[in-house]
Amino acid sequence: MKWAVLAVVAFVAGCAGNQLDKSKVITAESEKAVVVLALTSDGTGLSSPLLTWSGFDTESNLMIDKRVKVNKRTDTNAGDVLATLLVGRRDFGGKSYYVFEVDPGGYFLEYVHTAGNSGIFKRKVTTIYKDHSPSFVTEPGHVYYIGDFQFTAVGLQNTLRPVAPDLASAEAVIRADYPNVNTSIDHQPVRFVSLNCRAQRQTNFGSDTDFCAPGETDIVYKD
């Protein structure tokens, strides 16, 4: 019984999608930063999109070995938790907010991943961003709204594009759902970057992947 309870607790915690703990106190003295984005999906994805942000050094603009993965929050109510348990983190469409903590520094969107069942087969779609990736830079003790985005999945391509920002709605959600965020919310529009990839990440077996290698990849601003 004990292990069953622990398993349920772990599952519900996982439903947070690696997002900010709603009870956590955030102040100007906090060591980390909080990033907020709104994502509207048309429901075409196999699952809700998993966003993976990779870090870069803001002085050298060199990619570093740091990844932050964040998914749609599904621990909002019992219905969401039950749906996730029964059918997975499905993409039913609509608008949701991704609210997550990061260490201070620069980040760019490395890839968007979706997965789900197609008949009897398991399908996975991973889109790597090397040419037109949104990026942002953070400082400790700040909360950044980086914009609204539209997500669409067409074939084997996951597309994430910025749409008109709505800071007022984002701030209303944060104030209502994260009552212990005790600092202002700054609007920082993303800047788009491309990757100058001189080497690929390698698997544990030494073979190349499609991902760029930290320490061997330059981040180049497009504006």
Closest CA to 135 of 66, 192, 211: 192
* 178 Cα distance to chain centroid: 18
Alpha-carbon torsion (93, 135, 162, 180), positive or negative:
positive
Other C-beta atoms within 10 Å of 210: how many? 11
**Predicted pLDDT of residue 56:** 98
User: Is the per-residue pLDDT at 181 higher than 80?
Assistant: yes
Indicate if the pLDDT at residue 71 is higher than 60.
yes
Both structure tokens of 110:
């490395």
Mean pLDDT is highest, among 21-35, 103-117, 204-218, for: 21-35
The answer to whether the CB of 167 falls within 8 A of the CB of 187 is yes
82-108 pLDDT, tens digit per residue, is 444 444 455 667 899 999 999 999 999
Label residue 197 exposed, middle or buried (CB < 10 Å: 0-12, 13-18, 19+): middle
* Amino acid identity for residue 73 in this structure: R
For the cut 60, the answer to whether the pLDDT of residue 8 exceeds it is: no
Q: Please, what's the b/e burial string for 80-103 (b: 16 or more CB within 10 A of its CB; e: otherwise)?
A: ebebbeeeebbbeeeebbbbbbbe
- pTM, two decimals, is 0.84
What confidence tier does 72 reach under pLDDT thresholds 50, 70, 90? confident
Choose the weakest-confidence range: 10-24, 169-183, 194-208: 10-24
Instruction: Report the half-sphere exposure of 167 (CA within 13 A, side-chain side).
Output: 10
Is the pLDDT higher at 42 or at 194?
A: 194
Q: What DSSP string describes 109-138? A: EEEEEEEEEETTEEEEEEEE-SSSEEEEEE
What is the distance between the alpha carbons of residues 47 and 68, in angstroms, rounded to a whole number? 19
